[in-house]
Amino acid sequence: MSTTSVPPIIRTHDNVFWFDAAREGRLLIQRCADCGTLRHPPGPVCPSCRSFEWDTLESSRRGTLHSFTVIHHPQDPAFTYPLAVGLIDLEEGTRLVADIEGVDPEDLRLGMDLEVVFGAHAHDETLPRLRPLGGDR
């Protein structure tokens, strides 16, 4: 059986603020300083007005499950399988992709309430994960 390896996360001038906040357990959303449009993943230019000016908004870390998939293969030693990966609609209006934990994949339902928590990941990074809202930590 072959295994894959998790590629390193590339920190750039445009996303370092996001990874630094994640390490502190905070989920930041990039916001255009000119028109207020929220965007994720982080990028240098506002897709609405082309402004390069931005600041951040701290997310409530709550949202609802928009879509998900359950991965069985290929398997990487850094994860446990079956691995559920979800797309969450955050309360603020942006979306985020992350692994889902704390719930059997058979029990996942679109629209269910989830929260974002943070945990250690490969390459000494801290990344978001999704859990049922109010679930055990």
Q: Which residues of this chain interact with Zn ion, rule CB under 5 A?
A: 32, 34-35, 37, 46, 48-49, 51
Per this entry, what is the length of the chain? 137
Residue 129: closest CA among 72, 85, 92: 85
Kindly state the smallest distance separating residue 77's Cβ from Zn ion, in Å.
42
d(CA 84, CA 108): 9
Smaller CB separation from Zn ion, 32 or 98 = 32
Kindly state the smallest distance separating residue 47's Cβ from Zn ion, in Å.
8
Kindly state the smallest distance separating residue 50's Cβ from Zn ion, in Å.
7
Contact 135, 102 (CB under 8 A): yes
Classified as helix, coil or strand, 58 is strand
Smaller CB separation from Zn ion, 12 or 51 = 51
Smaller CB separation from Zn ion, 49 or 78 = 49
